[in-house]
Structure 1
Amino acid sequence: MNKDQHEPNAAIDSDSSPTRGQRCKGDRGEGVISAAIAVLIMAFLGAAMWMGFQQMWKTTEATTNDKITQIGSE
């Protein structure tokens, strides 16, 4: 057996480690994917906020109309 196989702190063989070009090549689309995920999350948050705003607006509109009717009938 090779000396490097027995020692846990042995240096990594340079032939088995990926070169800079190989490492970068595998990470090429990672930024695009991360950006796409961030855009999707923001879109879902925006849609949820819009739905909440619409519901709040409907409630406020109904309450306002009720108060106007109440004031007008006094």
Structure 2
Amino acid sequence: MNTTLSHLLRFRRDQGGEGVISAAIVVLIMALLGAAMWSAFNGIFVDATTDIQNTVDSIGS
């Protein structure tokens, strides 16, 4: 077996877990983005609910 072929085969064996690790990193990034989006969404609607309730109370009085 020539050295180029043996180096290619060794390199191919060394990359066995790369797909799993990359997928795990992507899942963690997406989870963090989802948590940040939920936090922003929740904050916006809590503020909107408070503003609407204050406006309705001022109209009613």
> Is the TM value for this pair above 0.5?
yes
Higher relative CO (Cα under 8 Å, sequence separation at least 6) belongs to 1
CA distance, structure 2, for counterparts of residue 34 and residue 47 of structure 1: 20
RMSD: 1.4
State the number of aligned residues.
Answer: 59
Matched residue, 1:18: 7
* Cα distance between partner residues in 1 of 2:35 and 2:20: 22
Structure 1 residue runs of 5 or longer lacking an equivalent are 1-13
Q: Give the partner amino acid of 2:40.
A: G
Query: Would you say 1:65 and 2:15 are equivalent positions?
Result: no
Identity of aligned residues (%): 42
Q: Which amino acid aligns with 1:68?
A: V
Q: Name the larger-Rg structure.
A: 1
Which residues in structure 2 correspond to 1:1-74 (within 5 Å)?
A: 14-15=2-3, 18-20=7-9, 22-73=10-61
Structure 2 unaligned residues grouped into runs of 5+: none
Question: How many angstroms apart in 2 are the aligned matches of 1:67 and 1:26?
Answer: 64
- Distance, in Å, in 1 between the alignment partners of 2:35 and 2:3 is 51
